Structure 1
Amino acid sequence: MIKKHRAFLKWAGGKYSLAEKINANLPKANKLVEPFVGAGSVFLNSDYERYLLNDINADLINLYNEVKFNAAEYINDARKLFVAKTNDRETYYALRQQFNDSVDVYERSLLFLYLNRHGYNGLCRYNRSGGFNVPFGDYKKPYFPEAELEYFAEKAQKATFICESYEAVFRRLRKGNVVYCDPPYVPLSKTASFTSYAKQGFNLDDQANLALLAEHACQRGITVLISNHDTTLTRKIYDKAELSTLKVGRSISQNGSTRTKVDELFALYR
């Protein structure tokens, strides 16, 4: 049995539990391209010679590049933020403000990991001004993901991390690439869209445009797989793709017992 690897970040909608299903839909290729890499579970649990990994969240990509090029120092410095005296409400909000005020890339990368592991349920959310605004998580002892950071740093040597729009990433595609897209999902209800991964957002026009870009890439011989909620809207948007579904657990609740099963839709363009 192949060992699975967890991302070092907590991430709403992370694909750790679906990695095998996603990889089963992706053909062999010389490069896997992810326009919405998120926490990187597909990257960490796939086997390609090279990776092009993108996200619109600059803090996320800066963090990944720090881990890729400076793993030992980064891990040593980040560990200092995972001690008892930093795990209280007052310190959390002070460090959150420090993060929002900082323009130093390395400092922000350290604080981003701290906020991810100490904030409410690992959410990544910014207000309209670009300020990180996730509340304190109040965990007994937040986990410091040292082993996960070390594995990520090792695997990252095969990857290039970029911070561009998803449209720009599609313009980079070449024959021999395969694409997995994990965009912010279509909300299941008017009140369900709780997460803004970056202040730019991702609206319904973007959802439809992504499908169109996937169609065009497919016409060039490039396989594209997109995941999303299974709704009437997404089935209409992905009407040119091969569709499949499965049930997955998803919730933003800290209480695992309240997590419910929802339908996940895979749209495969090949």
Structure 2
Amino acid sequence: MNEKNRAFLKWAGGKYKLTEQINERLPKAKRLIEPFVGAGSVFLNSDFEEYVLNDINPDLIEMYRIIKRKPKQFIQDAKVYFQDEFNKEEVYYKLRSEFNKSDDIYLRSLLFLYLNRHGYNGLCRYNKSGGFNVPFGRYKKPYFPETELLFFAEKAKKATFTCKPYQKLFLYLRDTDVLYCDPPYVPLSKSASFTSYATQGFTLDDQAQLAKLARESKAAVLLSNHDTTLTQELYREAHCDKISVSRTISSKSSDRKPVAELFAFFPAKK
């Protein structure tokens, strides 16, 4: 694919910079399944006939479904929140509180995009009570991603969006499927643990279970993770290779040092 397509969400750990490397490692297949779709950069920069895009975050998946169903209405309504009057700290916290109290799926979807673009560093984080708790980002003029939203909506015609535990995605695989798994990464140190993307977290037991499911899957599976002693052990039966990538989560550019990223490929069972 010649021109790369950006996701409309800011996303810590997003795969935009690695889509070429990922596509090189994905075998040809009819359907791509992503149990941890996140902002969808792999989906947006790959070419499969069908997609199953899953995430444990219901706010994310409900928003994707709405954008697929009525993109022009969503864009019109979401754009309101990108006027200058909404880029103020007190307004941000008021709307964040409104988001956390609301059961209205459509309003939550609009505010999810607002919070993503106005919140700190593209983080998506919830407290143990399920409340979104990312602080105000203090950006001069947050970008409204209209072009990216329209591209996403058009490509979403090929996609089915699901909100299930990752284990469920392995239950009904076809021989013509391939899975790309981009789970929350194994922490590089004890102090680097980041498990609050969803209220349930993603434990080391989950890392082991995902590796087992990939190993036993009848469809091909490509996994990405940090290159650590643990992941090398978990993926020891896979075809593994690694690349160096820059860290993007740290708020200080001086701390964004290259880290080793591991790709583990489990071929389809014959």
**CA 1:120–1:66: 2 relative to 1, 3 Å:** same
TM-score, length basis structure 1: 0.97
Alignment equivalent of 2:258, drawn from 252, 256, 261: 261
2:54 maps to 1:54: yes
Name the counterpart of 1:227: 224
For the pair 1:248 / 2:249, whether they are aligned, the reply is no
Partners in 2 of 1:215 and 1:122 — Cα distance? 32
Q: Which residue of 2 aligns with 1:78?
A: 78
The answer (yes or no) to whether the contact 1:19–1:42 under 8 Å persists in 2 is yes
Alpha-carbon displacement from aligned partner over 1:165-189 (angstroms, at most 9, x marks no partner): 0011111211100000000000001
Matches within 5 A, 1:121-200: 121-200=121-200
Deviation at 1:74, TM superposition (A): 0.1
Report the AA paired with residue 193 of structure 1.
S
Unaligned runs of 5+ in 2: none
Match for residue 206 of structure 1?
A: 206
Deviation readout 1:197-236 (Å, 9 max, x if unpaired): 210111000000000000111xx2x110000000000000
1:39: how far off?
0.3
CA root-mean-square deviation: 1.0
Tell me if structure 2 keeps the 8 A contact 1:14–1:39.
Answer: yes
Contact 1:30/1:50 (<8 A) preserved? yes
1:43 and 2:40 correspond: no
For residue 252 of structure 1, what is the amino acid of its counterpart? I
Partner of 2:18: helix, strand, or coil? Answer: helix
What does residue 120 of structure 1 align with? 120
Deviation at 1:257, TM superposition (A): 4.5
In structure 2, the partner of 1:103 is 103
Work out the CA distance in 1 between the residues paired with 2:161 and 2:179: 15
SS at match of 1:206: helix
Unaligned runs of 5+ in 1: none
Partner of 1:239: 236
What's the CA shift for 1:194? 3.0
- Give 1:159 shift: 0.2
> Under a length normalisation based on structure 2, what TM-score does the superposition of the two structures give?
0.97
- Report sequence identity in percent: 64
Aligned length: 267
